Amino acid sequence: LFAFAGGWTGEWKVIRSRPVSGEALPPVDRLAVLSGDARIDARWILRGVTSYERYVTFDEKRELAAKQPALGRPESTCAALIPIRKSSEWWQLAADARRAVLEDSSHHIRTGMRYLPAIARKLYHCRDLGEPFDFLTWFEYAPADRNAFEELVDMLRGTEEWQYVEREVDLRLVKED
Ligand code: HEM
């Protein structure tokens, strides 16, 4: 279990917080990334768990393993936390239909792969935790890769997959002790 706590403490300074779809999150100055059930005084706390992969094929899994960098690289002083909730229409689709939207039509994995290893990523699931979002997506990158990340996010938001996104908030952060 992981927790993202928005408030007044934490090593990440919030430089932008923007609702892309649906309701915004209350504004905060800093973000703390905590593991487990750590207690902290915060304005809001979003929780998620790491889980197994639902959609990746054998070949994609191998390619991801080869290209994906670890989190916490010292030069990755920029980060994004993008909590996302998908619609009930999405969740009513069968697994093969969801894979068809995510990859065959939207090329989420193929497109994302082009941004590795510049962008480090981690996906947390929270739909079954009674949380306000289904996913917490987390990315880390160097300042020089800011534009590349922007390009990737814009591209994904134009896909068929994103027609199923009913709430999305985009928080951008910089590491600051
Ligand atoms: C950095 C490059 C990226 C790569 C390589 C990548 C790759 C992936 C992969 C492989 C999955 C499927 C996981 C599974 O099988 O369960 C996934 C899911 C997901 N990704 Fe990305 N992704 C990238 C960027 C992004 C960005 C920028 C966003 C948000 C703006 C995003 C949002 C999501 C979400 C919400 C899911 C869960 C989808 C679902 O289960 O319905 N990804 N990504």
Question: Over 80: is that where the pLDDT of 11 sits?
Answer: yes
Nearest CA to ligand 1 atom 32: 137
Question: Over 90: is that where the pLDDT of 177 sits?
Answer: no
149 CA: nearest ligand 1 atom? 27
Stretch 145-167: mean pLDDT, rounded?
98
Nearest CA to ligand 1 atom 33: 137
Question: What's the gap between Cα 35 and its chain centre?
Answer: 16
Mean pLDDT score of the chain: 97
Q: What one-letter code names the amino acid at 74?
A: P
CA atoms in the 13 A half-sphere facing the CB of 151 = 10
**Pairing state of beta strands 12-21 and 78-86?**
unpaired
Nearest CA to ligand 1 atom 17: 109
Nearest CA to ligand 1 atom 10: 109
Binned at pLDDT 50, 70 and 90, residue 60 comes out as very high
Contacts of 50 (CB under 8 A, 6+ apart): 2, 122, 123, 124, 125
Q: Which pLDDT belongs to residue 37? A: 79
Stretch 113-117: mean pLDDT, rounded?
98
State the Cα–Cα distance between residues 171 and 157, nearest whole angstrom. Answer: 15
121 lines ligand 1 (CB under 6 A): yes
Using DSSP, state whether 8 is helix, strand or coil: coil
**Pairing state of beta strands 120-125 and 2-7?**
unpaired
Binned at pLDDT 50, 70 and 90, residue 39 comes out as confident
Q: Output the pTM of the full model.
A: 0.98
Stretch 69-84: mean pLDDT, rounded?
98
155 lines ligand 1 (CB under 6 A): no
How far is the centre of ligand 1, averaged over its atoms, from the C-alpha of 121 (Å)?
8
Stretch 33-46: mean pLDDT, rounded?
90
Tokens of 61: 């899994």
Binned at pLDDT 50, 70 and 90, residue 68 comes out as very high
